[in-house]
Copies of this chain bind each other. A is one copy, B any other.
Amino acid sequence: MLKEERQQTILSVVELHNRILLTDIAESLDVSIDTIRRDVKELDAENKLKKVHGGAISLGFTTNSVKNQNIYRLEQKTRIAEKAITLLKDGSVIFVDGGTTCNELARLIPSNLDLTCFTHSIPVAMELLAKPNVTVILIGGQVSKESQISIGANAIHNLSEIKVDYSFIGTGYVDSFYGLTEFDWDIVQVKKAIIKCSKKTVLLSISEKLNSQHRYKSCDINAINTMITELEPENELLNSFRNHDIRIL
């Protein structure tokens, strides 16, 4: 039997049954297990199936049922969150925005830290509930499906009635000249309200977003008191932000 022919057979069996055992296929094709192993290794390298210990699995079988909720640039965001946490101390009253970076911040808050956290983000609230010493106060309102945060008049009104020490916010786009901008008008309105209710505003943003802009403006760049990226503070990519009285971490 030709190698090519054998590999085709292996593929069809995998497609048909979603999986095979190397021993089974070796027996049914009457070749040695080593040959099959080599075949499967090649097919795996060609991305035609997935080789696992003792057998192989159809690609569709794995990718369909596993939800890939990989967070983009998670390591950078973790680094940012770690820096942000150094700003917190017992008794702080803070606001935490939505988005994956702020979510990471919420997740990494040490459980012995005594905080009062406001948030309008459902995932952030969820994370914060796991911290025994954090008082969580939810800002209600209509919830945006994509961003999973409360938006709209009600949310903005509620924000107008509070005052926090720090707010930690994310942004869609940030530029040293154009400031913080977003794609979505409703989000911008909420961001404005958040900045208004904060004594100090901390921007969390991965460096990839630097020097980008979009349609609607949340605030000028000098509305930001502290800016945190995953970069070292000295990095030259941050140069254009230095003459704005912004503390860079």
Residues of B within 8 A of A243 (CB): none
| Chain A 44-88 interface mask (CB, 8 Å, partner B; 1/0) | 000110101111010101101111010000000000000000000
Give bound CA distance, A120 to B139, whole Å. 11
**Copies per complex?**
2
Given A2-B19, A129-B143, are A66 and B11 neighbors across the interface (CB < 8 Å)?
Answer: yes
Question: Is A99 in the interface zone, CB < 8 Å from B?
Answer: no
The SS class assigned to the A binding surface is: mixed
Among the stretches A130-138, A194-202, A216-224, A229-237, the one at the interface with B is A130-138
Question: Is A12 in the interface zone, CB < 8 Å from B?
Answer: yes
Give bound CA distance, A50 to B2, whole Å. 12
Q: Quick one: which of A18-48 are within 8 Å of B by CB?
A: 18-19, 21, 47-48
CB < 8 Å neighbour of A132 from B4, B67, B145:
B145
| Chain A 112-134 interface mask (CB, 8 Å, partner B; 1/0) | 00000000101101100110100
Give bound CA distance, A157 to B61, whole Å. 30
Cβ-defined contact, B126 with A126, below 8 A: yes
CB < 8 Å neighbour of A2 from B52, B137, B155, B158:
B52
Give bound CA distance, A6 to B4, whole Å. 24
Residues of B within 8 A of A12 (CB): 65
Question: Is A172 in the interface zone, CB < 8 Å from B?
Answer: no
Residues of B within 8 A of A47 (CB): 69
Cβ-defined contact, B62 with A48, below 8 A: no
Cβ-defined contact, B150 with A3, below 8 A: no
Given A11-B65, A53-B2, A126-B126, are A143 and B148 neighbors across the interface (CB < 8 Å)?
Answer: no
Q: List 10 A-B contacts (CB under 8 A).
A: A2-B54, A2-B55, A4-B52, A8-B61, A122-B138, A123-B126, A129-B143, A129-B148, A132-B145, A136-B145
